[in-house]
Amino acid sequence: MEVINSKDLEKLNALNNHHVLKIVNEFVNLCKPSKVTVITDSIDDIRYVRKRAVELGEEIELNLKGHTVHFDAFFTMSNHDQARDKGNTQVLVPEDEQASYPWINTMEREKGLKEILEIMDGCMKGHECIIRFFCLGPKNSKFSILALQMTDSFYVGHSEDILYRAGYEEFKNLNGSDEFFYFIHSSGELTGDPPVTKNLDKRRIYIDLKEGRVLSVNNQYAGNSLGLKKLALRLGIYKANNEDWLTEHYFIMGVHPKGKTRTSFFCGAFPSACGKTSTAMLPGQTIIGDDIAYLRVWDDGYAHAVNIEKGIFGIIKDVNAKDDPVIFDALTTPRETIFSNVLIKDGTPYWIGDGRETPNDGDSFSGYWNKGIKDINGIEIPHAHPNARYTIGIEELNNADPNLHNPDGVPVHGILYGGRDSDTMPPVIESLNWDHGVFLGATIESETTSATLGAEGVRTHQPMANLDFMVVPLGKYIENHGKFGSKLDSYPKVFATNYFLKNEEGKYLNGILDKLIWVIWAEGRVHNDFRAIETPIGFIPEYLDLKSLFKQYLDKGYKEEDYNQQFSIKPRKILEKLDRIEEMYKKEKNVPEFFWKLLNNQRQDLTHFLNEYAMDEIPPHILK
What 8-state DSSP symbol labels residue 301? S
DSSP 365-406: TTEEEETT-B-TTSPBPPSS-TT-EEEEEGGGSTTB-TTTT-
| Spatial distance between the Cα atoms of 253 and 240, rounded to a whole number of angstroms | 22
Tally Cβ neighbours within 10 Å of residue 472: 18
Sign, CA dihedral 290-291-297-299, equals negative
| Spatial distance between the Cα atoms of 526 and 266, rounded to a whole number of angstroms | 10
| Spatial distance between the Cα atoms of 122 and 218, rounded to a whole number of angstroms | 12
Amino acid symbol at 288: I
Amino acid symbol at 185: H
List alpha helices for 6-101, DSSP H. 6-13, 18-31, 43-55
Examine residue 194 and say whether the peptide bond preceding it is cis (omega within 30 degrees of 0). yes
135 tagged catalytic: no
Torsion of CA 108, 109, 115, 119, to 10 degrees: 140
Q: Considering only the C-alpha atoms of the chain, give the largest distance between any 2 of them, rounded to a whole number of Å.
A: 81
Q: Is 7 exposed, middle or buried (0-12, 13-18, 19+ CB in 10 A)?
A: exposed
Q: Which of 31, 129, 135, 274 is catalytic?
A: 274
| Spatial distance between the Cα atoms of 233 and 444, rounded to a whole number of angstroms | 20
SS3 420: coil
Chain centroid to CA 312:
10
Q: Compute CA distances 294 → 54, 439, 501, 525, 534, whole Å.
A: 34, 20, 31, 24, 32
Closest CA to 314 of 266, 272, 348: 272
Residue 342 phi, psi (nearest 5) = -105, 180
Contact (Cβ atoms closer than 8 angstroms) between residue 518 and residue 282 = no
DSSP 97-144: GGGG-TTS-EEEHHHHHHHHHHHHTTTTTT-EEEEEEEEESSTT-TT-
Amino acid symbol at 317: K
**Bridge partners of residue 204, in order along the sequence:** 217
Q: Which residues are within 8 A (CB) of 115 and not within 5 positions of it... i.e. 6 or more apart?
A: 204
Q: Which residues are within 8 A (CB) of 244 and not within 5 positions of it... i.e. 6 or more apart?
A: 297, 483, 484, 487
Residues marked as catalytic = 274
